[in-house]
Amino acid sequence: MSDSADLARAQEQFARRQRLVRWRGRLPWVLGGLALVIGGITVWLFYFSSVFAVAGVKVDGLTTLTEDVVTNIAEVPTGEPLARVDLDLIAGRVRTIPSVADVLVARAWPDDVVIHVTEREPVVVVTDGARFELVDATGKAYRTVDARPSGLPQAVVSGVRRPVTVRSIVTVSAALPDALRARVISISAASPDSITLNLAAGVKVVWGSADDSARKAEVLNVLMRRDAKVYDVSAPDLPVTKGEKK
């Protein structure tokens, strides 16, 4: 009787071990299948369902542009799954706006697209006598206005090499000390090598090219201790004054 009971228990333990071995062998497949199911549901939720679809667009960093202008150009596909939105394509559209210097587009989960705009800042206003163009630090003219804005040096540009001349003027303007820049009424140039600063009372500074602008600004700062009508720093190692009062 005891031997039969022992045999039954042994057989039961053996069968239990066999079931455990079979379950352990199947466990990786079960876990793998479960991961596939979860992964499939996740892909469907984020890429194909409307659960995380674009519902709004947020724009920041604006100073002169309006949010409507940016969103109209951006053409963010409202209702499309947020994960599938082409952020680079949206950024490329916004960069076509002349006043935009740079743009960063990002996803804001669960359902927004954020457009961060960096606008161009004018450093000089360029005129040919009929129109006024705002120019940024890269030398790009990006906006035309009807009247000269206050607080910006005015550049009167002529000649066939206008874009190069404008960039040279920007370089010169950036090199001027703030106090001197505030005294500049206009900057005239017929070429990149013939830049002249026009100050009050008919005083002129012959600058020449934009080369060595930092050095020229230092020399001019010393030279203007003399009361003259013309200061020539086109050759900064050999500066000249004209019409100097005795």
Q: What is the DSSP string of the chain?
A: -HHHHHHHHHHHHHHHHHHHHHHHHHHHHHHHHHHHHHHHHHHIIIIISSTTB--EEEEE--SSS-HHHHHHHH---TTSBGGG--HHHHHHHHTTSTTEEEEEEEEETTTEEEEEEEE---SEEEESSS-EEEE-TTS-EEEEESSPPTTS-EEEE-SS-HHHHHHHHHHHHHHS-HHHHHH--EEEESSTT-EEEE-GGG-EEEEESSTTHHHHHHHHHHHTTS--SEEE-SSTTS-EEES---
pLDDT of 158 reads: 83
Q: What pLDDT sits at residue 146?
A: 85
| pLDDT for 47 | 75
Count other Cβ atoms within 10 Å, centred on residue 182. 10
Residue 9 has pLDDT above 70, yes or no: no
Q: Are 207 and 233 in contact (CB under 8 A)?
A: yes
Task: Give the tokens for residue 53.
Answer: 């679809």
**Is the pLDDT score of 205 beyond 60?**
yes
**Local confidence band at 16 (pLDDT 50, 70, 90 cut-offs):** low
Report the alpha-carbon distance of residue 79 to residue 206 in Å, rounded.
60
Read off the pLDDT band of 160 (50, 70, 90).
confident
- Least confident window among 47-51, 69-73, 130-134, 239-243: 47-51
Q: Is the pLDDT of residue 231 over 60?
A: yes
Q: pLDDT tens across 102-147, in order?
A: 999 999 999 999 999 999 999 889 887 778 999 998 888 899 988 8
CA distances from 227 to 34, 72, 235 (A): 87, 56, 20
Statement: residue 1 has pLDDT above 60: no
What CATH architecture is 124-242?
A: 3-Layer(aba) Sandwich (3.40)
Query: Does residue 30 register a pLDDT over 60?
Result: no
Are the C-beta atoms of 132 and 186 separated by less than 8 Å? no
- The arrangement of secondary structure in 56-119, i.e. its CATH architecture, is Roll (3.10)
Q: Does a cis peptide bond (omega within 30 degrees of 0) precede residue 110?
A: yes
In this model, does residue 46 exceed pLDDT 90? no
How far is it, in rounded angstroms, from Cα 184 to Cα 205?
Answer: 10
